Amino acid sequence: MKTRGCTNYQNRVEMKKIVAVLLLLSFFFASCEKDDICDPSTVTTPRLKIQFFDKNNISLTRKTTNLKIVGDGMTVPSPLLNESGRETWNDSVVYLPLRVNQDATKFELILNFDEDPTTVEVTDLLEINYTRNDIYISRACGFKTSFNLFGNPLQNPFVLNNTPTATTGNWIKNIQVVQSQINDENEAHIKIFF
């Protein structure tokens, strides 16, 4: 019987070792995280949504004609491509990416852009001023930035053709801020009348 008691004791010790190893392994695997992939439907940094309107009838939207948008010092392709991958926009809405590492972004807006030298192109330089707020989304998606056009009360939210007080440019006849908080792209943030 002494031999059997010793065997039971050895079995219990072995079982405790196995349980301890299994417990350690379960803690190890529980602490490991799966590889995160940012879901494409996750809302990330929104772009500035500009909607164009007819200067003579301010309630009617108006499509631009061969509008070429060139970002000043942007990391995105310059000129800015439209939703179809073309470099000119013929729509009543455009989306402009704002810089997340600076409080201003400049765009050159060229209306009637054409390779033909006889075509009359009209250009306005639009500077957008804002404050930024970085918001943590997740480890996979990182941060998104929201913007506030009236975040700095000492600065005009837009500067047209390097003149802070101008509201009329070469082809832009008026600019109106509709939504100063840029958290999403659901509604227009700025209206441009031409």
The SS3 assignment for 158 reads strand
- How far apart CA 126 and CA 129 sit, in angstroms, is 10
The model's confidence at residue 30, banded by pLDDT at 50, 70 and 90, is: low
pLDDT class of 119 with cuts at 50, 70, 90: confident
- Whole-model pTM: value is 0.77
Rounded to an integer, what distance in angstroms lies between the CA atom of residue 191 and that of residue 179? 10
pLDDT digits (tens, 9 = 90+) for 135-182: 999 888 899 999 999 988 888 999 999 998 888 999 999 999 999 999
- 49-107 residue pLDDT tens: 999 999 999 999 999 999 999 998 666 557 888 889 899 999 999 999 999 999 999 99
